[in-house]
Protein backbone atom coordinates (compact mmCIF):
# COMPACT_ATOMS: atom_id res chain seq x y z
CA UNK A 1 0.00 0.00 0.00
CA UNK A 2 1.37 3.45 -0.86
CA UNK A 3 2.58 5.84 1.85
CA UNK A 4 0.17 8.51 0.62
CA UNK A 5 -2.80 6.16 1.10
CA UNK A 6 -1.61 5.10 4.57
CA UNK A 7 -1.26 8.73 5.69
CA UNK A 8 -4.73 9.53 4.34
CA UNK A 9 -6.30 6.63 6.26
CA UNK A 10 -4.40 7.52 9.43
CA UNK A 11 -5.56 11.12 9.24
CA UNK A 12 -9.15 10.01 8.67
CA UNK A 13 -8.96 7.60 11.64
CA UNK A 14 -7.59 10.25 14.00
CA UNK A 15 -10.24 12.69 12.84
CA UNK A 16 -12.95 10.06 13.41
CA UNK A 17 -11.69 9.34 16.93
CA UNK A 18 -11.54 13.05 17.72
CA UNK A 19 -15.14 13.58 16.54
CA UNK A 20 -16.35 10.48 18.36
CA UNK A 21 -14.92 11.56 21.69
CA UNK A 22 -16.36 15.03 21.29
CA UNK A 23 -19.79 13.49 20.62
CA UNK A 24 -20.15 10.62 23.19
CA UNK A 25 -23.72 9.79 22.30
CA UNK A 26 -25.35 6.58 21.22
CA UNK A 27 -26.47 6.18 17.65
CA UNK A 28 -29.37 3.98 16.63
CA UNK A 29 -28.58 2.03 13.49
CA UNK A 30 -31.54 0.38 11.75
CA UNK A 31 -30.75 -3.04 10.29
CA UNK A 32 -34.34 -3.54 9.04
CA UNK A 33 -37.53 -1.53 9.38
CA UNK A 34 -38.29 -3.20 12.73
CA UNK A 35 -34.82 -3.99 14.00
CA UNK A 36 -32.23 -1.52 15.18
CA UNK A 37 -29.02 -1.51 17.17
CA UNK A 38 -27.79 1.18 19.48
CA UNK A 39 -24.06 1.75 19.69
CA UNK A 40 -21.71 4.48 20.84
CA UNK A 41 -20.61 6.98 18.21
CA UNK A 42 -16.98 5.92 18.63
CA UNK A 43 -17.77 2.30 17.70
CA UNK A 44 -19.70 3.46 14.64
CA UNK A 45 -16.78 5.55 13.49
CA UNK A 46 -14.27 2.78 14.18
CA UNK A 47 -16.48 0.34 12.30
CA UNK A 48 -16.78 2.72 9.36
CA UNK A 49 -13.03 3.24 9.29
CA UNK A 50 -12.41 -0.52 9.46
CA UNK A 51 -14.82 -1.18 6.60
CA UNK A 52 -13.19 1.59 4.58
CA UNK A 53 -9.73 0.14 5.24
CA UNK A 54 -10.86 -3.35 4.24
CA UNK A 55 -12.50 -2.13 1.04
CA UNK A 56 -9.43 -0.05 0.18
CA UNK A 57 -7.13 -3.01 0.84
CA UNK A 58 -9.26 -5.32 -1.31
CA UNK A 59 -9.32 -2.81 -4.18
CA UNK A 60 -5.57 -2.21 -3.84
CA UNK A 61 -4.70 -5.90 -3.91
CA UNK A 62 -7.10 -6.49 -6.80
CA UNK A 63 -5.30 -3.76 -8.78
CA UNK A 64 -1.93 -5.24 -7.83
CA UNK A 65 -3.05 -8.71 -8.89
CA UNK A 66 -4.24 -7.35 -12.23
CA UNK A 67 -0.92 -5.56 -12.77
CA UNK A 68 0.99 -8.71 -11.85
CA UNK A 69 -1.12 -10.77 -14.26
CA UNK A 70 -0.62 -8.28 -17.10
CA UNK A 71 3.09 -8.10 -16.32
CA UNK A 72 3.35 -11.89 -16.41
CA UNK A 73 1.52 -12.01 -19.73
CA UNK A 74 3.87 -9.38 -21.13
CA UNK A 75 6.86 -11.37 -19.87
CA UNK A 76 5.58 -14.53 -21.56
CA UNK A 77 4.97 -12.63 -24.80
CA UNK A 78 8.45 -11.11 -24.76
CA UNK A 79 9.98 -14.49 -24.00
CA UNK A 80 8.11 -16.08 -26.90
CA UNK A 81 9.27 -13.28 -29.20
CA UNK A 82 12.87 -13.71 -27.99
CA UNK A 83 12.80 -17.47 -28.57
CA UNK A 84 11.15 -16.94 -31.96
CA UNK A 85 13.82 -14.40 -32.91
CA UNK A 86 16.63 -16.76 -31.90
CA UNK A 87 15.12 -19.59 -33.90
CA UNK A 88 14.78 -17.35 -36.96
CA UNK A 89 18.40 -16.22 -36.61
CA UNK A 90 19.63 -19.80 -36.39
CA UNK A 91 17.60 -20.92 -39.40
CA UNK A 92 18.66 -17.90 -41.45
CA UNK A 93 22.33 -18.48 -40.63
CA UNK A 94 22.01 -22.10 -41.76
CA UNK A 95 20.23 -20.98 -44.94
CA UNK A 96 22.97 -18.45 -45.73
CA UNK A 97 25.66 -21.06 -45.14
CA UNK A 98 23.84 -23.46 -47.45
CA UNK A 99 23.66 -20.74 -50.13
CA UNK A 100 27.36 -19.95 -49.73
CA UNK A 101 28.37 -23.60 -50.10
CA UNK A 102 26.12 -24.12 -53.12
CA UNK A 103 23.51 -26.32 -51.43
CA UNK A 104 20.52 -24.48 -52.86
CA UNK A 105 18.02 -27.27 -52.07
CA UNK A 106 18.98 -27.28 -48.40
CA UNK A 107 18.90 -23.46 -48.35
CA UNK A 108 15.39 -23.49 -49.83
CA UNK A 109 14.24 -25.89 -47.10
CA UNK A 110 15.57 -23.56 -44.40
CA UNK A 111 13.94 -20.54 -46.05
CA UNK A 112 10.62 -22.40 -46.20
CA UNK A 113 10.85 -23.05 -42.44
CA UNK A 114 11.60 -19.38 -41.80
CA UNK A 115 8.67 -18.20 -43.90
CA UNK A 116 6.29 -20.54 -42.08
CA UNK A 117 7.27 -18.81 -38.83
CA UNK A 118 7.55 -15.29 -40.27
CA UNK A 119 5.87 -14.98 -43.71
CA UNK A 120 7.22 -11.43 -44.26
CA UNK A 121 10.86 -12.07 -43.33
CA UNK A 122 12.33 -9.80 -46.01
CA UNK A 123 15.88 -11.18 -46.05
CA UNK A 124 14.58 -14.72 -46.57
CA UNK A 125 12.08 -13.60 -49.21
CA UNK A 126 14.89 -11.80 -51.05
CA UNK A 127 17.30 -14.76 -51.08
CA UNK A 128 14.53 -17.29 -51.73
CA UNK A 129 13.40 -15.20 -54.70
CA UNK A 130 16.94 -15.13 -56.07
CA UNK A 131 17.14 -18.93 -55.76
CA UNK A 132 13.81 -19.28 -57.58
CA UNK A 133 15.02 -17.05 -60.42
CA UNK A 134 18.27 -19.01 -60.73
CA UNK A 135 16.23 -22.21 -61.03
CA UNK A 136 14.11 -20.64 -63.77
CA UNK A 137 10.98 -20.27 -61.63
CA UNK A 138 10.61 -16.59 -62.49
CA UNK A 139 6.95 -16.28 -61.50
CA UNK A 140 7.71 -17.47 -57.98
CA UNK A 141 10.72 -15.14 -57.80
CA UNK A 142 8.49 -12.19 -58.72
CA UNK A 143 5.90 -13.19 -56.10
CA UNK A 144 8.50 -13.54 -53.34
CA UNK A 145 10.22 -10.26 -54.18
CA UNK A 146 6.90 -8.41 -54.46
CA UNK A 147 5.91 -9.64 -50.98
CA UNK A 148 9.28 -8.52 -49.63
CA UNK A 149 8.99 -5.10 -51.32
CA UNK A 150 5.53 -4.59 -49.82
CA UNK A 151 6.91 -5.40 -46.36
CA UNK A 152 9.92 -3.09 -46.81
CA UNK A 153 9.07 -0.47 -49.48
CA UNK A 154 12.22 1.57 -48.77
CA UNK A 155 14.56 -1.37 -49.41
CA UNK A 156 16.05 -0.63 -52.84
CA UNK A 157 17.79 -4.01 -52.99
CA UNK A 158 14.37 -5.64 -53.29
CA UNK A 159 13.41 -3.37 -56.18
CA UNK A 160 16.67 -4.24 -57.95
CA UNK A 161 15.80 -7.92 -57.51
CA UNK A 162 12.33 -7.33 -58.96
CA UNK A 163 13.84 -5.57 -61.97
CA UNK A 164 16.07 -8.60 -62.56
CA UNK A 165 13.04 -10.88 -62.24
CA UNK A 166 11.13 -8.97 -64.92
CA UNK A 167 14.22 -8.97 -67.11
CA UNK A 168 14.42 -12.76 -66.77
CA UNK A 169 10.67 -12.95 -67.55
CA UNK A 170 11.26 -10.85 -70.70
CA UNK A 171 8.80 -8.19 -69.51
CA UNK A 172 10.47 -4.87 -70.43
CA UNK A 173 7.41 -2.80 -69.50
CA UNK A 174 7.37 -4.00 -65.89
CA UNK A 175 11.15 -3.87 -65.71
CA UNK A 176 11.12 -0.25 -66.87
CA UNK A 177 8.46 0.58 -64.26
CA UNK A 178 10.64 -0.78 -61.44
CA UNK A 179 13.77 0.89 -62.79
CA UNK A 180 11.99 4.25 -62.87
CA UNK A 181 11.04 3.74 -59.21
CA UNK A 182 14.70 3.10 -58.42
CA UNK A 183 15.64 6.20 -60.37
CA UNK A 184 13.17 8.31 -58.36
CA UNK A 185 14.45 6.85 -55.09
CA UNK A 186 18.11 7.67 -55.80
CA UNK A 187 18.88 10.17 -58.54
CA UNK A 188 22.63 9.99 -57.89
CA UNK A 189 22.82 6.30 -58.78
CA UNK A 190 23.85 5.37 -62.31
CA UNK A 191 22.94 1.68 -61.98
CA UNK A 192 19.20 1.98 -62.78
CA UNK A 193 20.03 4.37 -65.63
CA UNK A 194 22.42 1.83 -67.12
CA UNK A 195 19.68 -0.80 -67.10
CA UNK A 196 17.17 1.64 -68.60
CA UNK A 197 19.73 2.44 -71.29
CA UNK A 198 20.13 -1.28 -72.02
CA UNK A 199 16.37 -1.61 -72.52
CA UNK A 200 16.28 1.29 -74.98
CA UNK A 201 19.34 -0.11 -76.71
CA UNK A 202 17.75 -3.55 -77.17
CA UNK A 203 14.62 -1.85 -78.57
CA UNK A 204 16.79 0.27 -80.92
CA UNK A 205 15.25 3.38 -79.40
CA UNK A 206 18.35 5.50 -80.00
CA UNK A 207 16.92 8.89 -79.04
CA UNK A 208 15.75 7.56 -75.66
CA UNK A 209 19.08 5.79 -75.16
CA UNK A 210 20.91 9.05 -75.92
CA UNK A 211 18.78 10.98 -73.40
CA UNK A 212 19.54 8.43 -70.69
CA UNK A 213 23.20 8.44 -71.69
CA UNK A 214 23.33 12.20 -71.10
CA UNK A 215 22.22 11.64 -67.51
CA UNK A 216 24.79 8.89 -67.00
CA UNK A 217 27.47 11.17 -68.42
CA UNK A 218 26.53 13.92 -65.95
CA UNK A 219 26.98 11.48 -63.05
CA UNK A 220 30.40 10.29 -64.21
CA UNK A 221 33.37 11.99 -62.51
CA UNK A 222 36.25 9.72 -63.53
CA UNK A 223 38.02 11.05 -66.69
CA UNK A 224 38.39 7.61 -68.29
CA UNK A 225 34.78 6.75 -67.50
CA UNK A 226 33.57 10.05 -68.94
CA UNK A 227 35.52 9.37 -72.11
CA UNK A 228 33.90 5.94 -72.48
CA UNK A 229 30.41 7.28 -71.78
CA UNK A 230 30.91 10.18 -74.21
CA UNK A 231 31.88 7.72 -76.94
CA UNK A 232 28.74 5.71 -76.22
CA UNK A 233 26.63 8.88 -76.45
CA UNK A 234 28.18 9.65 -79.86
CA UNK A 235 27.40 6.12 -81.02
CA UNK A 236 23.73 6.54 -80.12
CA UNK A 237 23.58 9.78 -82.09
CA UNK A 238 25.24 8.06 -85.02
CA UNK A 239 22.78 5.14 -84.88
CA UNK A 240 19.85 7.55 -84.77
CA UNK A 241 21.21 9.50 -87.77
CA UNK A 242 21.84 6.28 -89.69
CA UNK A 243 18.30 5.11 -88.93
CA UNK A 244 16.88 8.39 -90.26
CA UNK A 245 18.98 8.10 -93.41
CA UNK A 246 17.81 4.54 -94.06
CA UNK A 247 14.20 5.61 -93.53
CA UNK A 248 14.61 8.47 -96.02
CA UNK A 249 16.01 6.05 -98.61
CA UNK A 250 13.05 3.73 -98.08
CA UNK A 251 10.58 6.59 -98.44
CA UNK A 252 12.32 7.77 -101.60
207 occurs within a structural domain: yes
Domain span holding position 198: 187-252
Q: How far is CA 28 from CA 22, 37, 40, 80, in A?
A: 18, 6, 9, 61
How confident is the model over 2-31, as a mean pLDDT?
66
Flag whether 177 is in a domain: no
pLDDT digit string, tens, across residues 49-64:
677 778 878 888 888 8
The pLDDT value given to residue 90: 94
* pLDDT, average across residues 5-34: 66
Please tell me whether residue 23 adopts helix, strand or coil conformation: coil
Examine residue 119 and state whether it is found in any structural domain, yes or no.
Answer: no
Can you tell me the distance from the alpha carbon of 141 to that of 236, in angstroms, rounded to the nearest whole number? 34
Question: Residue 169 falls within a domain, yes or no?
Answer: no
Tell me if 42 is assigned to some domain: no
Q: Running DSSP on this structure, what letter comes out for residue 33?
A: S
> Cα separation of 208 and 214, whole Å?
10
Mean pLDDT of all residues in 96-122: 93
Q: Is 141 within the bounds of a domain? A: no
Identify whether 212 is part of a domain: yes
- Residues 127 and 106: their CA atoms lie apart, in Å, by 13
Q: What is the pLDDT of residue 26?
A: 66
Contacts of 14 (CB under 8 A, 6+ apart): none
What is the arithmetic mean of pLDDT over 87-111? 93
pLDDT in tens, 130-159: 999 999 999 999 999 999 999 999 999 999
8 Å CB contact between 162 and 149: yes
Domain count, the chain: 1
In a domain, 198, yes or no: yes
Q: State the Cα angle at 9 between 7 and 14, rounded to 5°.
A: 95
- Average pLDDT of 194-199? 95
Convert the pLDDT of each residue in 208-243 to its tens digit.
999 999 999 999 888 888 999 999 999 999 999 988
| Residue 50 confidence (pLDDT) | 73
Amino acid sequence: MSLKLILTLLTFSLLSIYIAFLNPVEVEVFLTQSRSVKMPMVILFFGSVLVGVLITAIVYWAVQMKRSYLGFRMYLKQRRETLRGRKLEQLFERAENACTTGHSEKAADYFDKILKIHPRHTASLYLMGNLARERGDVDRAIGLHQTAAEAAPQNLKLLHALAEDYSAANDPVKEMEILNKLREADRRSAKPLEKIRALHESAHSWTSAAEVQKKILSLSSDPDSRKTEAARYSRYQFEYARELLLQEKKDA
